[in-house]
Structure 1
Amino acid sequence: MKQNTVATLAAMKARGERISQLTCYDYTTARLMDDAGVNMILVGDSLGMTMQGYADTLPVTVEEMIIYGRSVARGCRNTFVVLDMPFMSYQISPQQALETAGRMMKEAQVDAVKLEGGRTVADQIRAITDAGIPVVGHVGMTPQSYHAFGGFKVQGKEEDSARRVLEDALAVQEAGAFAVVLECVPPKLAALISRTLDIITIGIGAGEGCDGQVLVYQDMLGMTGDRVPKFVKRFAEAGQLMQEAFRAYDSQVKSGAFPAAEHAYGKSDCADEILARLEEEQAGSNWKLCSVM
């Protein structure tokens, strides 16, 4: 059994231990995160931007989420994997939500699904959790609804907005979710929600008062250039390191410095003899071909 489960994560909250989560979209990176001891991975529909180059998450399909999610799940022995439900894969009805969640769990072999919204999707969350599928909610700034917000804006700054975020988080808990993401919420409000809820809160741009934190891994590794949200801390400049390596490779291939002798397989004792025979046969073949033409 994995070291990180719904039960062990809940126990971490109860003990006051912080929970780490990162986004991930491929097997190789998932292996590295798993070995590093990261508690949770979110296979986010943010892949629409980070992996596919879209301006937002809306074009991402269920089929694409399953492919990426399956790749990540294969790389995780202990890390708990959550798979995002993409835009319009659950909003229509609780039945649609249940069917989508069931398919994603079955085909991607992940540990939980995540969907955006509070009170408006409570029935969907309840239908999924009633079927025994763990659910992570997502309130505050919900990227799938950014058109309605007029952009990627902080939510909960005014009293009415703050009350709505709190009520959404409570609705998610009441519907049966075991965790909820709080995105772009004022830190004091996020801390209040975290104290109020029994379930886990995962913050992104919501301050230190949440039970855990999540970041997009390309952001925290410095792979996104200057387009870095305020709440992101760069833990490495991997993007610069990768670019330097790509330039060095390009230069050495073009100059002939790579590959060198040490990068080639050793020749056998009869290699020269074999090559001479092949060259002779090829020359004869070419002569015959030319004579026919």
Structure 2
Amino acid sequence: MTTTLGQTQYGKAETRVVRVTRDGATHHLKDLNVSVALSGAMEAVHLSGSNAAVLPTDTMKNTVMAFAKKYGIASAEDFGLLLARHFVTAQTSIHHARIRIEEYAWERAPGGSGHSFVRRGGEVRTAEVAFDGERCQVVAGVTGLVVLNSTDSEFWGFARDPYTTLPETRDRILATEVDARWRYAWDGTDGTDTPAPGWDDAWARARGDLLAAFEGTYSYSLQQTLYAMGSRVVEGSTADAAVDEVRLSLPNRHHFLADLAPFGLANEDEVYFAADRPYGLIEGTVLRDGAEARLPVTG
């Protein structure tokens, strides 16, 4: 029996870096969790144990810290692009770099000191940057974005079999925790005449489009809402930050009417039991016409 080495990669996962920028008495925070994955001409380390082509993962951690000092962190996407290009161009054995970043948001404390912050909820901004020496791929996203509509949602007319017990409803709570990723058309190959998009503005616009579509869609199914959300992001993107693909994963956070009859109480769509599991999981991709699907089905 013979074997062949397949695709490999290695890197440093989850380097936490917090960058403080001091503008007089007013401070600014960037709080990132950075994961680096590299691949290329590194077969020898697997086949013979030679480390000659292997950049230590500790060096990757140090590079993240040093780049945060040298260049600052304009945005998660900008920082990822800096790192990806550095690793590919600095080592001949490295042909491809993928940088995944989670950004944790902080808000200013209400006292107005300029240096006190409060961590914002469970929502996390994400960015994934890949570079192969010629082209970039930038994927932005958000996880942990919990949303709920207390009406304007129905679910009826569904298929039935002998095991179906779910009643139809013409008015229900629709709630989900949005996990969304969107891929930009920009790939960095147009030269200096076409600068990178303003990533912060592009991310904020896409997040706003997700929320607007969720709020504004009278929903007959979470699948319908998913398509409306993805379409809104693609159609709302601007020419300099055009979005070609949106991948959404939407767990259906079920809310069931509580049975209050044993207590002699009527429940007229007022009191619900929020079930955390099991839950429906709706996933899908929305593409700009003519665009190619590249985002994986699972994260």
TM over 0.5: no
| Structure having the higher Rg | 1
Q: Normalising to structure 2: TM-score of the pair?
A: 0.26
- Hey, which of these two has a bigger chunk of helix by percent? 1
- Hey, which of these two has a bigger chunk of strand by percent? 2
